[in-house]
Amino acid sequence: MNPNTSLLASSAADGDLAGKHIVLGLTGGIACYKSAELCRLLVKAGASVQVVMTEAATQFITPVTMQALSNRPVYSSQWDAREPNNMPHINLSREADLILIAPCSADFIARLVQGRTDELLSLLCLARPMTSVPLLVAPAMNREMWVHPATQRNMAQLQADGAVILGVGTGEQACGETGDGRMLEPAELLEDVVAFFQPKTLAGQRVLVTAGPTYEAIDPVRGITNLSSGKMGFAIARAAREAGAEVTLVAGPVALATPRGVARVDVKSAQNMLSAVVQHAQAATIFIATAAVADWRPAHAADHKIKKDGSGATPQLQFVENTDILATVAQSARAFSGALFCVGFAAESQDLLANAQAKRARKGVPLLVGNIGPATFGQDHNALLLVDAHHAIELPHASKLTLARQLVADIANRIS
């Protein structure tokens, strides 16, 4: 598994695929070693997984391994006598909620485009009911094969035929070369599969999210910040992308992996964040200000480290107030016209309802989301209070991704 994959992204997927039956197809390629972990993650997320392998795939990983991980017999022959009617290509495709080919070789992409049926997996894909059983493809091949016009032409045709191409990763390849063409990591593919099944309630929307703390420098080695981990904001960005939105995430200094399909802008200070938000808000239709932005910053950052001299004297720091990012956007012409729906966050330590109501009115936003900061900073779970001009709705304690999906659904209902 990619070490940069966030724990939130993988742990919160537990149960996301409950009740789903997935046919996992393996074709010939060294990336088959990743398919074992992918199968495990799919099962852990609640899916039942039926593995189908080409003969070439069995040269890279054994059916025994995949059977142990899926808890189901592996199919590889269209003449498999275990099926009473001897039609595994019909039976397996009719049972599936989704077919995922990972890895999908250049040769197998060509087979799918040509409608080849000389082995079980391509036959199964051709025989699937296209309107009810989607086909997702995770390509894996050498970088030169990936950019070859024949491969690109075949992928364009495969996409035109209704398949979903999940893209490729970049990095070192088994052949020793480096570039595009690697199969995506198992956790990335899991995130794509989970997202595929989520309702597309924000399709066509452009969502701007801020997340994490800001850092206000005192000198080159010290600064003022807070305990925000950014997990809630990153979960909201992921949930908005799952809901079909085009998502831009403006992130303060945090060590979290970027959610799949999300454009990320890294910033440090409140002034950096303000500049990025003002720029990207021009194209956004929804702004969700999750970041814990510093209210003040030192008026002047020292050029060199401020050292103690043994006298016991403390440095004299002067502070200036940072520009209120949420209020700035909420008071913009696009927000006033209704072209931009603004959502604020309030991390409080007490009197959550009263403070959230006051902050919503002060900022001039239609929706304010409150939580108890000390109880949630750095945690994978949270509880939220949604406050508008008329009501306060509690979202009980749950994983941050679960809450993010509930919040996204609420926003979708409000803007519709």
Under a CB-based contact definition with an 8 Å cutoff, are residues 31 and 51 in contact? Answer: no
Under a CB-based contact definition with an 8 Å cutoff, are residues 192 and 169 in contact? Answer: no
> How crowded is residue 11: how many other Cβ atoms within 10 Å of its Cβ?
12
Strand-pair partners of 248: 208, 263
| Distance, CA of 245 to CA of 286 (rounded, Å) | 10
| Distance, CA of 207 to CA of 195 (rounded, Å) | 16
Alpha carbon dihedral 178, 179, 182, 186, in 10-degree steps, equals: 90
| Distance, CA of 2 to CA of 6 (rounded, Å) | 9
Strand-pair partners of 169: 182
Residue 296's φ and ψ, nearest 5 degrees, are: -130, 160
| Distance, CA of 222 to CA of 305 (rounded, Å) | 8
Could you report how far apart the first and last alpha carbons of the chain are, in Å?
39
Question: Shortest CA distance to 225 belongs to which of 322, 329, 345, 349?
Answer: 322
Q: 372-393 in b/e burial notation, b at 16+ Cβ within 10 A?
A: bbeebbeebebbbbbbeeeeee
80 residue type, one letter: D
175 catalytic residue (yes or no): yes
Per-residue three-class SS string for 330-343? HCCHHHHHCCCEEE
Q: Pick the catalytic residue from 39, 104, 125, 175.
A: 175
Residue 297's φ and ψ, nearest 5 degrees, are: -140, 155
- How far is CA 216 from each of CA 349, 406, 416, rounded to the nearest angstrom? 22, 33, 39
Question: Shortest CA distance to 247 belongs to which of 272, 216, 210?
Answer: 210
- Residue 54 tokens read as 């080409």
| Distance, CA of 384 to CA of 395 (rounded, Å) | 5
Question: Shortest CA distance to 207 belongs to which of 235, 230, 166, 236?
Answer: 236
What DSSP line would sit under 224-235, residue for residue? E-----SHHHHH
Residue 317's φ and ψ, nearest 5 degrees, are: -105, 135
State the catalytic residues.
175
